[in-house]
């Protein structure tokens, strides 16, 4: 008999329900992780020699794979960028990069036991479509020579609409990619100039229309609020136009101005940034507009149409989070390749070198590239389960925790439950005999609620986080 999924009890009406309360946001809006893992990447330690090989050899071959390929090249530097990416205008550099990438893939693949089925693939960056059409075909063919791909899976790629060749989207669809993601950020010309990402509405419309005509299963658009020269009125105009384009998913990010960490942001004048009050107004308007347009709020800046696979997975209690963000196939091990790529294999999280020259050196030396590592324990697994279900399904089931971890959850988390009392009084959460439910007023503060269960938070790194909103 199959045990009912306790996280599938949320109704579509629950996920449609989201309340924007500025006073509560001001009260609980604090710096914290985005929880693409737990422990988070800030807990990385230097990896010991031989550990990565041991992890790969001991990986459970019955668990399918999710592959992440990092292409760290862009033709243009976007000034808001939160990654110190490699910027180049020479496609030949990318061709050289593929040589190193293929060597890493072959090395790791040689250590995996059994059949290695791939159910998920994501090409990220940088801009993967920096690669020429022929290079994209070569990469796809190489991956299919090394791995067995499921007939039905989630195969996605990030694109730059400004750099697409006439046949690029058709080639990607013919290869087998079924999901696209690309950044718009803002449609206001003054904002675009200030962040060095100028692209017309007509260009975005053409890309969307072609993607829909080719039959891509899902298309995601990224937006950012808090950029220089943005106003609530200008952001409203952008949102109205984006809604007309009808993307399947939207990611709406809060711009964090950290020029001391990211060199590209030094080009942005702090005096040109909107005030915190205007940023909150923008976010509130975005929430309202997308809700009125029928989008389901997934959590942490993400929205999806109710019939999109991500929204369905959330309602079915099957949504997950990993270093790719929200994922519909979270039962996979994540295997990352390329500069700065991160892997999540069982209880292990590993990261490759973040500098190209260091990555190339490890590959040339025929050594596995990971330089950082986290090995979580059973206590971490318990807290990860709690945090991820709060962020994915707005719920923590006491019975589920007892069945999975053999604990009395109310006793084990007595201090955390006590620390949630103010949030319960303010109507953000409901705590009862069954568990903890995030209520409509608390949904956009999900990260703040999840932080209560984070044992690492506050010990260090707090200056490395962004605020929730």
Q: How confident is the model at residue 463 (pLDDT cuts 50, 70, 90)?
A: very low
Helix axes 398-405, 378-393, angle to 10 degrees: 150
CA–CA–CA angle 325, 330, 336 (5° rounding): 65
pTM: 0.91
Specify whether the CB–CB gap between 327 and 321 falls below 8 A.
yes
Nearest CA to 354 among 67, 107, 86? 86
Q: DSSP label at 41?
A: G
Note the pLDDT of residue 462: 47
Asked whether 132 and 155 are in contact (CB, 8 A), the reply is: no
Tokens linked to 385? 């389960």
User: Where is pLDDT greater, at 239 or 22?
Assistant: 239
How far is 152 from 130, CA to CA, in rounded Å? 27
- What is residue 21's predicted lDDT score, i.e. its pLDDT? 87
Q: Is the pLDDT of residue 1 over 50?
A: no
User: Would you state the pLDDT for residue 325?
Assistant: 85
pLDDT of 93 strictly over 70:
no
Give the separation between CA 185 and CA 169, rounded to whole angstroms: 21
First to last CA, the chain: 43
The conformation of residue 99, written as its DSSP 8-state character, comes to H
Q: How far is CA 454 from CA 294, 374, 378, 436, 469, in A?
A: 33, 16, 14, 16, 19
Contact (Cβ atoms closer than 8 angstroms) between residue 218 and residue 248: yes
- Both tokens assigned to 145: 């020579």
Contacts of 423 (CB under 8 A, 6+ apart): 28, 429, 442, 449
For residue 382, count other CB atoms closer than 10 A to its CB: 20
Question: What is the pLDDT at residue 91?
Answer: 53
Using the CB atoms, write b or e for 137-174: b if 16+ within 10 Å. eebbeebeebbebeeebbbbbbbbbbebeeebbebbbe
pLDDT value at 12 more than 80? no
pLDDT score of 124 more than 90: yes
Give the distance from CA 225 to its chain's centroid.
17
Q: Mean of the pLDDT values across residues 191-213?
A: 96
Query: Measured between alpha carbons, how far is 171 from 157 in angstroms, rounded to an integer?
Result: 12
C-alpha torsion sign, points 196, 88, 121, 330 = negative
């Amino acid at each position: 008999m199959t045990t009912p999924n306790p996280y599938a009890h949320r109704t579509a009406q629950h996920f449609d329900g989201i309340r924007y309360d500025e006073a509560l946001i001001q009260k609980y809006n604090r710096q914290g992780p985005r929880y693409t893992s737990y422990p988070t990447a800030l807990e990385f330690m230097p990896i010991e020699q031989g550990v990565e090989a041991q992890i790969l050899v001991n990986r459970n071959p019955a668990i399918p794979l999710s592959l992440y390929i990092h292409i760290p090249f862009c033709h243009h530097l976007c000034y808001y960028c939160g990654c110190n990416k490699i910027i180049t205008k020479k496609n030949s550099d990318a061709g050289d990069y593929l040589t190193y990438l293929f060597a890493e893939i072959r090395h790791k693949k040689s250590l995996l036991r059994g059949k290695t089925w791939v159910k998920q693939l994501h090409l990220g960056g940088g801009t993967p479509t920096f690669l020429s059409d022929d290079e994209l075909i070569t990469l796809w063919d190489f991956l299919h020579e090394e791995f067995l791909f499921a007939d039905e899976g989630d195969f996605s790629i990030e694109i730059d609409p400004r750099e697409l060749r006439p046949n690029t989207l058709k080639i990607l669809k013919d290869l087998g990619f079924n999901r696209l993601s690309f950044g718009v950020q803002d449609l206001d010309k003054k904002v675009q100039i200030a962040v060095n990402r100028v692209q017309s509405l007509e260009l975005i419309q053409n890309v969307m229309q072609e993607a829909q005509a080719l039959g891509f299963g899902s298309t995601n658009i990224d937006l950012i609020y808090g950029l220089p020269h943005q106003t609530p009125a200008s952001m409203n105009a952008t949102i109205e136009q984006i809604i007309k384009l009808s993307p399947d998913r939207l990611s709406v990010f809060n711009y964090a101005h950290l020029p001391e960490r990211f060199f590209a942001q030094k080009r942005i004048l702090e005096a040109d940034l909107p005030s915190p009050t205007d940023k909150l107004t923008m976010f509130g308007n975005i929430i309202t507009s997308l809700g009125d347009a029928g989008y389901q709020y997934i959590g942490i800046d993400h929205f999806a149409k109710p019939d999109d696979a991500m929204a369905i997975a959330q309602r079915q209690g099957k949504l997950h989070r990993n270093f790719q963000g929200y994922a519909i196939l979270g039962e996979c091990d994540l295997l990352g390749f390329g500069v700065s790529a991160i892997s999540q294999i069982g209880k292990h999280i590993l990261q490759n070198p973040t500098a190209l020259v260091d990555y190339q050196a490890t590959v040339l030396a025929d050594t596995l590239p990971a330089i950082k590592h986290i090995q979580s324990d059973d206590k971490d697994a318990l807290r990860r389960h709690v945090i991820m279900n709060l962020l994915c399904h707005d719920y923590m089931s006491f019975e589920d925790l007892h069945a999975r971890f053999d604990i009395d959850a109310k006793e084990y988390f007595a201090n955390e439950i006590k620390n949630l009392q103010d949030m319960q009084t303010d109507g953000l959460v409901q705590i009862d005999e069954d568990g903890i439910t995030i209520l409509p007023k608390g949904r956009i503060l999900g990260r703040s609620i999840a932080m209560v269960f984070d044992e690492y938070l506050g010990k260090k790194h707090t200056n490395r986080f962004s605020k929730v909103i």
